[in-house]
A and B are shown apart, each in its own frame.
Chain A
Amino acid sequence: MSTIHRGLTITVTLEENNIPAVNALLLQYRKDLSAEWEDYHQQLPGTFFISWLTLPSQMYADKEKLPARIVLMTSYTGKKNKHLRELAGFLGEKLTEIFKFSPEFPEDTLSFQALFRFLKQKSIPNTFYSGFKFIGAGDVENEKSLKKEILDHFSPLSKEGDLSGLSENAIKEKIENYVLQNPNLNWAKHRVKNKRRNKLAMLFPLILFGMVMLTSIVSLILCLFMDALFLKIMAFVFPVFLLGMVILFLLLRINEKNPHIPNEPISDEKVRQIVALEKNPVLNEMTVIAPLKQGWIRRAFLAVTLRLVALVGYFAYIPTVHTARWLQMDQGKRLVFIANFDNLSEAYAHDFVDSERRSMNMAVIFSHAFGFPATRWLVHKNYNHRSEYMKGVRAHQKITQFWYSFNNELSVENLKKNRKFREGLFQSMNKEEIRDWLLKI
């Protein structure tokens, strides 16, 4: 089974006057969640996070009113259709109750199949990031218990000196024997399934892109010596891509010269409303939705960027982030960013601005959004980059009325450590590697 993490985004328009009613319902669902959390856990076994919110209308380029919307965003593993069925099955009533406020929802009550089709039809693509790749929702609990059991069992032994004098290999063997003899941990004797296949599947688009470009370059050279139609066509691909990018950059540079319009400062009251929902002791959520800066080039450039970022998603790294996504809505006029991260948004936002390199990466996407800091050649900062960025995030941060998290206890670092410990079981290692592995406990 695929354990590639994916993001599902479903959105429909909403009459502005229905926002309070939808918000009230979503907030009620959030309230009910503490009593229903176990059901969510059981019935949505492939779902890590659900963010569900209303988005008020926003002005684009000072002249176009972008519609109010309902936005449902989930992070999951496995196949999209299976995930949609899970959602339609377990949340069918709630989904119907909310989406029927939208003029896009059919008038009749929908059957399971019809609801499934509706959700599928209203889903839009996104560029997705996961900080704990290939760990399935079921693995989270198992791997946590595995580590705890081992620690609880071997800690006293180590304290009493029962492990002293044993070689690294002997200690590893003791741990592995304990796993084999403990029926609750027996599952851990099996290797993590499909790891290589999932990795390859995730890298496939990048490999394909690379191969097309490489083929084009080779074709370009071969065209000098051979006369074949395929070569002639392929020879165009790389230069066209390169030329396209150069043109995009030049047009962007022209657009960057437009005067920077800063965001209106957000009121204290709004900040308090946002942070009032950020009270989870381990991880929290943030949704930022902003109209883009004026000019079609911003929309086009961001669209290309998001596709290229998706290609290299496997290599991306944002510390403390469990999952994140970026996407464009309303013909590319809105940028949506959502992240599920460790601790509070204030701390998390610093992950982006406190490192030079990361603030450049961030500019690649956020510099296109209204009110976010102006740049030169996409990544070069202008004055007040940091404070403008922080203001931009807060100014466009939305209140997520409903948020569900499958895991409420483990940080992304905990998840990765637990996985590394599990992966090391029954693997041959040298002494140094075993010492390193034991530190994961």
Chain B
Amino acid sequence: MTTLELKDIQGLLIRGHGQLPSAQYLLYRFGDAGKGKKYLRSILPFIANGDEKPDTRAYQLAFTFKGLEYLNLPTTALMSFSREFREGMTEANRQFILGDFHENSPENWEWGNEEIHLLLLVYARDAETLDEVLQEEAERAVLHQITLLHSLPTGFLLGQKEHFGFRDDISRPVIRELIGGKDLGHIPTFPAGEFIMGYKNLYDEYAPAPMVDPSDDINDLLPHNPDSKNLKDLGKNGTYLVFRQMSQNVFAFWEYLLAQGKTREEAIRLASKMVGRWPDGSPLVLCPENSDPSQSEANKFGYWEEDPNGLKCPIGAHIRRTNPRDHLVTERNKKDSSEMIAKHSMIRKGRPYGEPVADSMDPLEIIDKTEDHKERGLHFICMVTDIRRQFEFVQNNWVNFHKFGGLEHDADPIIGNHYQSENVVTDEFSMPAYPIKNRLKSLPNFTLIKGGAYFFFPGLNAIQFIADEK
């Protein structure tokens, strides 16, 4: 079994820093390449690696393609990054693939259109420490002619919930090498190469990674690329980080469902059908009639045998689209289905932002609140070694494709782009039922993208390489 080089891997790839609940995401632009490198050298010692569990503060660092270009990374290295990363999230075709049009068009975003170079993710044990860190970082930025473009706050919500009031982040892929290859029974494990460059992936290939000419690596910081021995591996122990700020319109969500369901209980039942889990997290497949708090973290279930027609958990439900587990309607057997689905997994590390509508995060209480016009949502962050195969595939083929699983007009009810145009309707939600399926129509967009970018999240040696004066 391959051993992960944890000391070279940035910590966020291994853990979510849950012990550091206060966090802020800072988006920067360099003002001078030389000073930018100096900045990187100054911050490098503070970046948490995968072998430690900081208890006060942790820094993590990621670059956009423009940022690497600005720092004068050699052209061969720049061109060896994947096309999606080089083009960036707002390029025309990427927008089309991601469904970032109409209301979700980047022209409506708050950030992501301008030239961003660097993402600094700062984690602290409490708000005071975070304030201290932010103050220090503000000084460091000024000193190195770095402009802070956006400072995005985050905040955990009670009971690991997201703003609509549903338990979130229950199903997480497990990296095989991290558990020493142990068999976890029903829970699938994934080779590190799915999420960390420099290791083999599910195809038994090394994950595609950026490379540099050995002559550019004067300090011999980087290992040789396993596929091209005459090149050095800039990607080793790094990955791509996808960041999307997703605003959640909690009031529109519950207002719509209340209008459909008439009673609060019925609204919650419909919302649960849309999510695929009850607000406490219990999955509909295991608890189709009522929630069961004892199942709130249940992750050992599939759809192939338990619910192939979506009578318990609709085919188009959010959790069934973003992770169909073992069941794709278009496949003829569970094995093919599971193999196909596994190839599109992601490690999620995002956090919510904004004040909760109700501190209790209880939907019954949320429903009763009146519109406060406050901004809230999710800073969605995922880490993948292949943006196109993993993140974009899921976003395009499963989340936004309105024909997913034999459906007709249904994008993901929670995070899909809902619209109607001449020949396309994506704003319905079908719930298979006997004798005739139920349909919700004219779903508004309950979430809107407010910003986003693709980042390279390098290993520590790679950051040192990028920071070095050549």
Contacts and interface: CB of A to CB of B under 8 A. Distances in A.
B439 A155 contact: yes
A353 B386 CA distance: 15
B125 interface: no
B369 interface: no
A160 to B, nearest CB: 11
Given A151-B436, A281-B423, A384-B205, A439 B405 contact: no
B173 interface: no
Interface in A331-361: 342-344, 346-347, 350-351, 353-358
A408 B187 CA distance: 39
Interface residues of A, number: 51
Interface string A380-394: 000111110000000
Nearest to B343: A354
B408 A319 contact: no
B408 to A, nearest CB: 6
Nearest to B336: A355
Interface string B204-243: 1100100000000000000000010000000000000000
Contact of B309 (A168, A355, A439): A439
Interface in B373-394: 388-389, 392-393
B389 A350 contact: yes
B403 interface: yes
Given A154-B436, A271-B83, A417 B339 contact: no
A18 interface: no
B336 A413 contact: no
Contacts of A439: 309, 432, 437
Interface string A271-286: 1100110010110000
A439 B405 CA distance: 13
Interface string A313-337: 0000101100000000000000000
Interface in A153-173: 154-155, 157-159, 163, 166, 168, 171
B331 A347 contact: no
Given A268-B83, A279-B96, A413 B330 contact: yes
A346 B388 contact: yes
Contact of A356 (B339, B388, B396): B339
Contacts of A383: 204-205
A343 to B, nearest CB: 5
A409 interface: yes
The prevalent SS among residues of B at the interface is loop
Interface residues of B, number: 44
A38 B87 CA distance: 38
A123 interface: no
Contact of B393 (A350, A385, A387, A413): A350
Contacts of B97: 344, 346
Contact of B340 (A168, A171, A354): A354
Contacts of B263: none
Given A275-B93, A319-B330, A387 B339 contact: no
Interface in B136-175: none
Interface string A242-281: 0000000000000000000000000010011001100101
B331 A413 contact: no
Interface in B324-351: 328-332, 335-336, 339-340, 343
B439 A413 contact: no
12 contacts: A154-B436, A268-B86, A272-B93, A281-B424, A342-B401, A350-B340, A350-B389, A357-B335, A385-B203, A411-B406, A413-B330, A441-B437
Interface of B: 83, 86-87, 93, 96-97, 203-205, 208, 227, 309, 328-332, 335-336, 339-340, 343, 388-389, 392-393, 396-397, 401-403, 405-406, 408, 423-424, 432-439
Given A346-B97, A350-B340, A417-B406, 15 more contacts: A154-B435, A158-B438, A319-B330, A342-B403, A350-B389, A353-B203, A355-B340, A357-B335, A383-B205, A384-B227, A408-B423, A410-B403, A413-B330, A438-B435, A441-B437
